[in-house]
Structures are given as C-alpha cells and as structure tokens.
Amino acid sequence: MDELLLDTTYLLPIFGISAGLRKFEEAFGKLLSSFSVHYNPASLMEAKWIVLKLGRTNSEKRDALLAAYRTGLKVLASDRRLKATPLTSDTVEEVADGLLVREGVKDYFDRVIYGTAADRG
C-alpha cells in the first residue's frame, strides 16, 4: 500500500478546527482506505499552536477548542489507520535546514514535515 504523509492542515478537522476543506470527511475516509496514512508529531504541536492562537481572545471559545484538541489526540491514538512518524532525524533535519538556508522557508513545522516526506521517499 502506498504511503501518504499528511500536512497539519488535514489533521485540523480532527481537532475541531475548520480548515475550509470541501468534502473533507468523504475524501479523508477514502484516503484512509487507500493509503497507509502517516503524520509527523510536529503537526500535533502546530495544531495546538493554532488552537491557542484561535482561543486567545475568547475564553469560552478557548475552553471548547482545548477540549476538542484533547479529544482529537484520543482519536489519533485510537485509530490504527493513522500512524505517527518519528518526530525528526538527522536526514529530516538536513532537508529542513536546506529549506531554510537555500529557500528561505522560515516555518520550522513546514520544514520538518517536508523533510519527513522527503526522507520517507
């Protein structure tokens, strides 16, 4: 089965955050049945960062977002179709550093996720 590494955007709905993805549930179900689906744990930190940012100004919204994030973590942990990759490695970091130095990509989360995809082929 071919492997697919998800970007954080595609995990956000699991944490109760709308990412504006049309027909997400239908498409996500097909992905899970057609591919070996993986995510980098950096996406969990990036999603939490987004939750904190969205809830910064509204405590009621913040509490709901934090609860949804924790529920999403339980979903990820219990669904064997979604597999975590190692957070990083020397080869992942080499690709990530190259994106910073040669391409000017500043977002570390994006760089490490891209590096993971490149490392996994």
Quick: pLDDT tens for 69-99.
999 999 999 999 999 999 999 999 999 999 9
Show the 3-state SS of the chain.
CCEEEECHHHCHHHHCCCCCCCCHHHHHHHHHHHCEEEECCHHHHHHHHHHHHHCCCCHHHHHHHHHHHHHHHHHHHHCCCEEECCCCCHHHHHHHHHHHHHHCCCCHHHHHHHHHHHHHC
pTM: 0.91
The pLDDT assigned to 16 comes to 92
The structural domains of the chain, ordered by start, are 3-85 (3.40.50.1010), 87-121 (no CATH)
The pLDDT assigned to 35 comes to 97
